[in-house]
Chains A and B, each alone.
Chain A
Amino acid sequence: MILRVLLLVWIAVSLAAGFLLAPLVPGLGPTTRVLYFHIPAAWITVVALAWSMGHSLLYLRSRRMEHDDHAAAAAELGLLFCIVATVSGSMWAKAVWHSYWNWDPRETSIFFLLLIYGAYLALRGSIENDERRARLSAVYSAIAFVTVPFLFFVVPRLYFSLHPDTIINTRGKVDMDPRIRIAFFSMLIGFTGLFFWVLNLKVRLLRLERRRAEQAAA
């Protein structure tokens, strides 16, 4: 209970700091504020994907249904955050580059993640048997796990990018005004907390449903 309230307060304070305290980035103007939503959402998309794939591989090794619960719940949440990231990114692109969609490598990558999530959930939806669903979706997740690096790291080298490199540059340093940096990182932490909290709720729900089904069958 305390943690939930703390999370709410944390996110509220970070948002307030972002809007009231932090300055605007010179090149971006008022649209700067999108970075407090767009980038954390994209970050959570990747975290959720890694969590889901990791648990899929763990399921294949141990065949324990808890791993499948985590994989499924993380995938559903990841899809939600992916949609948020894609839509906010697209609106930001319209405001700054005057075009909703350009197949810029980052845009392509986030769209690709959207497809992967969609395909995974479509596959899960088409199998009724619990064990088979867990097994086949884990196999699909494992294949996606090896193909994702190709689209993330290799394809961008084939194409030119519109994406601003002002935030994380090749020197590996984070190049932001300190006030923006504080607000941004605290939003990042807030989003991560939000993700794991809802994930925990979903996993517990799935476990309860399975227990009820087992008791009904017994």
Chain B
Amino acid sequence: MTIEVRIPTILRTYTAGEKAVSGEGASLAALIDDLEANHPGIKERLIDDGDLRRFVNVYVNDEDVRFIGGLEAELSDGDQVVVLPAVAGG
């Protein structure tokens, strides 16, 4: 089971500059744990207090995960996950 994860510029310090990495997991939570094992520190940038950070957007096959279960969103072999920080401010 392999899932391609697209990494935004700001998080590429955790992936040795790679724009995309592979991960595994049957849910987004499991995938993030798998990413953390290979790219220590990245989890904290995605999750705060047990939930996805408000200003980090994660998409599975172009669907915002907030609409398909958040961290519980199910993943299948070949899915593509995209991480994008919100462009936002005050």
Q: Do A and B bind each other?
A: no
Interface residues of A (CB under 8 A from B): none
